[in-house]
Amino acid sequence: SMLYSPLGKRLPKYKNPKIELVFFMKKTKLINGKKATLRDIAEMAGVTQSTVSRILGGNPNFSASEKCRQKILKIAEEYGYQPKLSAKSLAMGKSYNINLILGNIARDLTNPSTAILIDTIARELKKNHYNLVITPITVSDKDTMTREVRKILGSASVDGTIISSGI
């Protein structure tokens, strides 16, 4: 499938000798110019919002027919439905974000072993429905760095923090 911007244009790749970033967004159908909501999917599938929520949330204690499950998943995929993390966060009292503090982002992201570690952390978090938030700290003296880390730890709306060994 092609990768598009919100305006429907094909997105380019931006290259750097050491880092390649690819910005992408799947082209999805809109309803009255807006993204599909849980209510929209429920109406299209002919089920309740709670049924859609439980199926898309992967609730293991919820029983539904495979036909119903597949219908909801197909509609959600077709319309690019993504649950609002802010609503889930509010309901669950969690942000579903884990912060990774890096002391030297250019060095850390271009070091193959660190890049593999970051990728592994991100994949494991994603399996458990968490996002990885990377926060670089770009100060050189130890006292300032300690203050910055404490400030981040006290103010970040994350459920946990990983501090790289370079700090």
pLDDT for the residue 48: 94
154 has a pLDDT exceeding 90: no
Give the helix ranges, DSSP H, for 23-141: 38-45, 49-56, 66-78, 85-92, 105-110, 112-127
pLDDT for the residue 10: 52
> Do residues 137 and 102 make contact, with C-beta atoms less than 8 angstroms apart?
yes
> Do residues 81 and 47 make contact, with C-beta atoms less than 8 angstroms apart?
no
Pairwise pLDDT comparison (43 vs 24), residue with the higher score: 43
Question: For strand 160-163 and strand 20-22, is the pairing parallel, antiparallel, or unpaired?
Answer: unpaired
pLDDT for the residue 70: 92
Span 5-33, mean pLDDT?
52
- C-alpha gyration radius of the chain: 20
- Report which of 83, 106, 86, 105 is spatially closest to residue 96, judged by C-alpha positions: 86
pLDDT for the residue 2: 43
> Do residues 28 and 75 make contact, with C-beta atoms less than 8 angstroms apart?
no
90 has a pLDDT exceeding 60: yes
